[in-house]
Homo-oligomer: A and B are copies of this chain.
Amino acid sequence: MHILITGAAGMIGRKLVVRLVAAGTLNGQPIDKLTLIDVSAPQKPQGFTGSVVASAADIADAAAARAAVAGRPDVIFHLAAVVSGEAELDFEKGVHVNLDGSRALIEAIRVTGEGYRPRLVFTSSIAVFGAPFPETIADDFHLTPLTSYGTQKAIVELLLADYTRRGFLDAIGIRLPSIVVRPGRPNKAASGFFSSIIREPLAGEEAILPVADSVLHWHASPRAAVGFLIHAAGVDREKLGPRVNLTMPGVCCTVAEQIAALRRIAGDKAAARIRREPDPLVARIVAGWPSRFDPRRALALGFQAEASFDEIIRVHIADELGGKIAS
């Protein structure tokens, strides 16, 4: 089993590599080769006995895309992307990476031909949806993204469905919820507060909450996201059918419910580290985001997220904090 990962140096990519190396297998087959690419060369994983190629590449370059699939990987995790905020600020860069990069990759697969038809797992996003929404978003709700990032993800979803229908590849697109709790330092993403109001208090630091307690959103942990990817690699093509893009399950809760979960797990002192500082700009952006899904197809196909926001916090404490929280 040869696996290619684009965007392997990113937060999800690194966690995916660690999980795959620890498992040693994917879809029940031993992993003997990893090809890891990103804009700068990813680190080689520790403890992996198979062969690893880790290199820097711009897959929007047709030759680089062909080189990436020249070894005919059996499974491709296509994670490489410019994030939402950057794709909005730098339109051309977002189009180059998110749209043209994805096209170059699937074109490289198509022109390989000779029956080469790898499983390709694509990380789409709930940013493919845009307000106004019904109270609960069903699997057949239309995609009307309100960001260039969401537009680019939606376009790649359409391409994957068509390439799969025509037999050029065997794709599955998974729309990730907002991933919380993201490890590391606060970033400038408008969604950053969903993580920081948990992460900072657990580390004994203050966090700023820029929106109302009543804001409702759709969450899953980084561990769940990696689980979605691995599960997606093994979903049966016949059961998936022609609608290859799926909204992933998640935990729907309000900011108030997030804070209540934090209080249950880490006490009043931790919850008191959240300072309310309303930011109308962030509030306006967040108001355009989807909040609640009914992801029946993904659930029927066996995808699993956390059952509660408490569980999402516990995953963070276990995976990032070595089980310890600040007193």
Mark A residues whose CB is within 8 Å of B. 91, 130, 134, 139-146, 148, 151, 154-155, 158-159, 161-162, 165-166, 242-243
Contacts and interface: CB of A to CB of B under 8 A. Distances in A.
A163 to B, nearest CB: 9
A141 B143 contact: no
Given A155-B155, A155-B158, A165 B146 contact: yes
A166 B89 CA distance: 11
A165 B109 CA distance: 33
A203 to B, nearest CB: 38
B161 A144 contact: yes
Given A142-B142, A143-B142, A144-B161, A91 B166 contact: yes
Contacts of A162: 145, 148, 151
Contacts of A141: 140, 142
14 contacts: A91-B166, A139-B142, A142-B142, A144-B161, A144-B242, A144-B243, A145-B158, A145-B161, A145-B162, A151-B158, A151-B159, A151-B161, A155-B155, A155-B158
Nearest to A139: B142
A162 B144 CA distance: 9
Nearest to A110: B91
Contacts of A154: 158
B158 A143 contact: yes
Contacts of A145: 158, 161-162
A146 B242 contact: yes
Contacts of A242: 130, 144, 146
Contacts of A158: 143, 145, 151, 154-155, 158
A141 B137 CA distance: 11
Given A130-B242, A159-B151, A162-B151, A142 B140 contact: yes
Nearest to A140: B142
Given A144-B161, A145-B158, A148-B166, 14 more contacts: A139-B142, A140-B141, A142-B142, A142-B143, A144-B243, A145-B161, A146-B165, A146-B242, A148-B162, A151-B158, A151-B159, A151-B161, A155-B159, A158-B158
Contacts of A165: 146
A48 to B, nearest CB: 38
Nearest to A107: B95
A206 B142 CA distance: 42
Most buried by B among A139, A146, A155: A155
A265 to B, nearest CB: 38
Contacts of A134: 140
